[in-house]
Structure 1
């Protein structure tokens, strides 16, 4: 491992430098400094953790600070701004902890209670009776594969890890295989099958129907999952990993007999309950989103002539205004601009054409510009959506936000939209129950009640058990949040933006576009750690590249190539890496040799499956 680490430390920064200097990549016009910052970050993390054996939390925080200090503004590095950079690290750490803290804490409680109460043992014994010990890893992989469709990967992994640990207690072998089987199923559907955010937004960016994305994504995911399972078996044979205690007191309880174990249904409740609740929320939101209430219909144009007049007057104004912002959009052709600013009566056919053009504009990411909307009283709908993360904003919410901005900019000319349909109200009513934090809290309470019932613990003893679980979960939260802070500092250094510019102007057709989609997503994943962000950014770039091109196959294959690429290169700036390592009780080196390589296998197999399907089942018509 030391030789591998040394090779990575030497070659990866060199590769980044070469990439930055490659004239064919268009990098001559690209600032290479962010790539050097990325190289420093990689060397820092790997050197501290693997070279100096430093605690992962300390290494990630130190590396985040180092990277943040290398972030320069327009005026270069200013020493007086250094304090602000430290504040940025703290803020990013807090944001990451806020996103995963409660979920991991609840998962730690659920895991310990399921193990100590015998719930995990009951589920495993039942599963082994059905599948046999030899096929247990197939069951774990299939569970992860199915559960990760409506539920985030992290949550699925938290819920299934206790089963892997209980299964190892029965078999005394193949612990790493069980962990990797869960990760295989969960990771591949998380990036290929909607309605998880990554595949959902990729399908929107590339104009792919969600239903098509679901079934083609599943077709691509199946061979990748099989390859991942085979790879898990190989790694487990080469590098068997012992099951280590995740916290104090994990092995202090006596083994329960079959008669003492809780029933199967009680045992399954902490797993099934959050999956059902989160799945119901996902279904409700998907159905509500299909209505697309932000979309304009011709009747929503109250006075098309007055709207055209307002656009013409705004276009010639010397001051920035919404009309100018709207008309300068890259989505508009010269014919579209002429249509929106023409004089005279508006025929029924033109009314429909204006509506179609405006609907295209409502999906634009550059619809809003602060200077243009100065003096325009914004509605709460517009303000709340503008305050959201624009990179991760769902298409239906982007259209709603821009519709609200259009209504605010031209009051009395655009009919206010009605958002709260019966489906949307149903989704809103389920919002609390389907929230992952709340759903896992309910599951934790069920697991605690089962532990008390089975073991006959006093409230004081029960409190000690929960404290022990939270002690193990606390370290996982700290390390995962530190990894998030490190990734955020790389983002602040504009590593992703630099890589995006390097691929601008790329072109090609057919299979070369599939490979390009894969490579862009993979490079962005290595750079900033998030598969979801990698998928969103790379799919947006690919959508611009393929616009107007004849592909020879359905664009859904570009989406699956992006999803496959977003799995490549998971390392210490990826929260999934730390979830797998720390919830599984693995060292950083073991995680690099198992998790990182596993995702590379899934990634490459997904690309190969995509290429084969694009030729065998092109669906080009």
Structure 2
């Protein structure tokens, strides 16, 4: 029975979240916690070493671990979003974008921005910073919100999944080649795969789905639709300067990028070790987003020119909304952790390993199924990387293509067990159905399109 326990736990998890969240409309946080408890209880009954009495504590521990990762960043993202929106900073940035592109191509400015920012920065942090701009763009133009969400997601996820020094592809490249000899080639191949795949999944799919779904603006992150519309109608003279408006984003990205660069190249250039403690400090997302939130909130205070007590109430309201989003996101992570505890990843790996199909396709399949089963892109990439590392000598192409195949599979089908799904839903102000039609669909398109692109490249340019 233990051999079938992972499949049983996975099935119970799927049924429970559909019933609780979709059919019965149970509040999201409660539904996810109940689903996590049900999966954990299944594990206790059918898996050795999982004590029945430890399940509630295990769910709480998984929730706490996820909250430790997303709690402060989401709370500070709420402050940044509220401040940039209500101060007019987001509107000012959007108007600057529009000066370079027409309204019909406004999505390109968001796509390029998200793509560039996601190379040194985790995608969820980029989404925290880009969501206010997408909402401001929708308020300014009056339509196309589905498109703006998709282009931000498509550009950001593609770069995050394929281009080192983002942690996923960097870790897999090191796992396949501990000497880092393939790192440079992986960066080049990653860009070559990510750009067309991001264009297909972000811009092309975004423009396609935007014809069939109209997502309205909703109150979220402490910001109302009325606030957005009021800011959209203000003259530029009543808005902060572009430099002041973009400063929170620039500071956060610069701090995180500095830490990423130093950690990536400190082994090659030992002189960087002297600054590593400082860059680790300022580049930690808890600090960098807090610092950015302070800058954004001070601009908010200056532009609205109201009493400190009112400003404090407004910021507190944003934090209150952010707390709800952080709780839902961490609950989604706990649900995914219980599925991972069931051993679904190991079952998938042992089933697919050695089937005799091409190594790139095998890696894609393993990563994709693990990702769907337990929710984490990083876990799917690292697990698959460990499985495929011994197969590197058998490759007929450069190992960088294997890194791409693993990343391509790992991004597929973000759904209820992925904390990223809840970040996009809650911060973007979407319904669950809208998130599935936009965010989940774009991750499927990204996965398939990137696989096709890398197979074409590996056939034409094997690099061996």
Normalised by the length of structure 2, the TM-score is 0.95
2:173–2:400 CA contact under 8 A, matched in 1: yes
- Partners of 1:588 and 1:74 lie apart in 2 by 32
CA deviations over 1:537-567 (Å, ceiling 9, x no partner): 11211122x2432x32111111101111111
- Partners of 1:469 and 1:439 lie apart in 2 by 18
Give 1:605's match in structure 2, choosing from 445, 449, 452: 449
Paired residues, what number? 456
Question: How far 1:179 moved relative to its partner?
Answer: 1.0
Give 1:464's match in structure 2, choosing from 290, 297, 313: 313
SS in 1 for 2:462: coil
What is the match of residue 266 of structure 2?
288
Alignment of 1:122-161 (within 5 A): 122-161=92-131
What is the match of residue 92 of structure 1?
62
RMSD: 1.8
CA deviations over 1:190-226 (Å, ceiling 9, x no partner): 1100111110011112226211111101100111111
1:203–1:213 CA contact under 8 A, matched in 2: yes
SS in 1 for 2:334: helix
- Partners of 1:168 and 1:499 lie apart in 2 by 42
Question: How far 1:269 moved relative to its partner?
Answer: 0.4
- Partners of 2:220 and 2:372 lie apart in 1 by 28
CA deviations over 1:199-255 (Å, ceiling 9, x no partner): 001111222621111110110011111111111111111011101110556256554
- Looking at secondary structure, tell me which structure has more helix per residue: 2
Q: Does 1:273 align with 2:251?
A: yes
SS in 2 for 1:154: helix
Give 1:576's match in structure 2, choosing from 416, 420, 437: 420
Task: Evaluate the alpha carbon distance shift between residue 76 and residue 611 of structure 1 in structure 2; reply closer, same or farther with a 3 A threshold.
Answer: closer
What is the match of residue 121 of structure 1?
91
- Partners of 1:235 and 1:613 lie apart in 2 by 28
Q: Does 1:54 align with 2:26?
A: yes
1:30–1:498 CA contact under 8 A, matched in 2: no
Give 1:548's match in structure 2, choosing from 393, 412, 429: 393
What is the match of residue 66 of structure 1?
38
What is the match of residue 435 of structure 1?
284
CA deviations over 1:108-131 (Å, ceiling 9, x no partner): 100010000000011011110111
Alignment of 1:165-564 (within 5 A): 165-207=135-177, 209-228=182-201, 229-247=203-221, 250-251=224-225, 253=227, 254-255=230-231, 256-290=234-268, 421-508=270-357, 512-544=358-390, 546-549=391-394, 551-564=395-408
CA deviations over 1:392-418 (Å, ceiling 9, x no partner): xxxxxxxxxxxxxxxxxxxxxxxxxxx
- Partners of 1:598 and 1:493 lie apart in 2 by 28
2:2–2:47 CA contact under 8 A, matched in 1: no
SS in 2 for 1:501: helix
Please, which runs of 5 or more residues in structure 2 have no aligned partner?
A: none
SS in 2 for 1:238: coil
Q: Does 1:614 align with 2:453?
A: no
1:71–1:77 CA contact under 8 A, matched in 2: no
What is the match of residue 106 of structure 1?
76
Q: Does 1:586 align with 2:430?
A: yes
Moved over 2 A (4+): 72-78, 247-257, 503-508
Normalised by the length of structure 1, the TM-score is 0.71
